[in-house]
Amino acid sequence: MVLQLFDVGLWDYKKELANITMAIPKIVHQTWKDENIPKKFRYAVETVKRYHPDWEYRLWTDKDIDLYVRANHAEFYPIFISFSRHIMRVDTFRYLLMLDIGGLYVDLDYEFLRPYAYPDVGLLLSRERDVSYGDGFNSVSNYIIASRPGHPFWQHIYQEMLANPAVTDTYLDVLASTVPGFLSKHFFELQERERWPDVMLTPRPTFSPHRLHGKNEKKILLNSSLTYGFHIGAGTWKQRLSFEYLKTKARRTLTKKATKPQRKARTIKSVC
């Protein structure tokens, strides 16, 4: 079993990567704080398993994640535990999984609609935003990633995380530090320079269609041959009602108002 290599602790993956020529391994990774997946995510998780029946499945808990990083990435562990937000540890862990083990990483709030025939590529990423579809910018998602172990993209990402540890003041900065902003920046820059032939960037509709709002929109996606799944976007990491969030939101709102140009008062001429 593939998992047994990593459950026993330290694995010299750097030595083994030289002998790996395989494509995307058939193993699905998901993460949660413990083994009790919330009820609201269980259907989505069931679709992942249903449409990957011959794939290994691994749910990594917070305890598993900490033990894994400590055992397999000792040089990164001090940075890992210093992150100001737990989501940053979860984000960087999925990148380590792709580097070390490979396979398919999927967020708990991602629902598959049909099976996807994964191509024989080394790295598969999905467009989350695409200017050709009317979005304001281009980006790749980090809620669904498929990769072979040891792809040079993940080697670069790992070295970047070591050399330039992410620092955030609030959770609002996380998007640019470890999540889609970070991943997108490095992917587009590196792919433009390296032109890796084994990289596939799927069109936006494949895994990242528009968010579902109406009750019939899921049926529309089911009837479309373009879409294989969608991200629910639960945003459990955002802590929207925390005191820190409200304080930061208020400060930024006041700053925005203070710097906004004041409109000149209109002068009304009296008529005698």
pLDDT tens digit sequence for 175-215: 444 466 889 999 999 999 999 999 999 999 899 887 665 56
Query: Which pair of tokens denotes residue 208?
Result: 């990242």
Residues 241-270, mean pLDDT to the nearest whole number: 57
Domains of the chain: total: 1
Strands 123-129 and 103-106: unpaired
| 144 vs 236, residue with greater confidence | 144
**Cα separation of 71 and 167, whole Å?**
24
The residue whose two tokens read 């494949």 is 206
Residue 270 in domain: no
Could you tell me where the DSSP H helices lie in 195-242?
204-207, 217-222
In a domain, 137, yes or no: yes
Q: Which residue has the tokens 């000149």?
A: 264
**Is residue 44's pLDDT more than 60?**
yes
Q: Within a domain: residue 68?
A: yes
* Nearest-angstrom CA–CA distance, 73 and 14: 11
Does any domain span residue 115? yes
Cα 256 to Cα 259: distance, rounded to the nearest angstrom = 5
Beta carbons of 50 and 112 less than 8 angstroms apart: yes
Separation between Cα atoms, residue 102 and residue 14, nearest integer Å: 13
Counted residue by residue, the chain has a size of: 272
Domain CATH code at residue 165: 3.90.550
Taking alpha carbons only, the member of 156, 165, 149, 138 closest to residue 103 is: 149
Flag whether 151 is in a domain. yes
The string of pLDDT tens digits covering residues 91-124 is 999 999 999 999 999 999 999 999 999 999 999 9
Task: Tell me if 264 is assigned to some domain.
Answer: no
pLDDT in tens, 211-230: 665 566 777 777 778 899 99
Where is pLDDT greater, at 243 or 227? Answer: 227
By CB neighbour count within 10 A (0-12 exposed, 13-18 middle, 19+ buried), where does 47 fall? middle
As separate numbers, helices (DSSP H) first and strands (DSSP E) second, the chain gives 12, 9
**Residue scoring higher pLDDT (8 or 60):** 60
In a domain, 265, yes or no: no
Structural domain including 239 reads 4-259
What global pTM score does this model have? Answer: 0.75
Q: Do the domain assignments include residue 272?
A: no
User: For residue 206, which of 227, 192, 185, 188 has the smallest C-alpha distance?
Assistant: 227
Question: How far from each other are the two terminal CA atoms of the chain, in whole angstroms?
Answer: 95
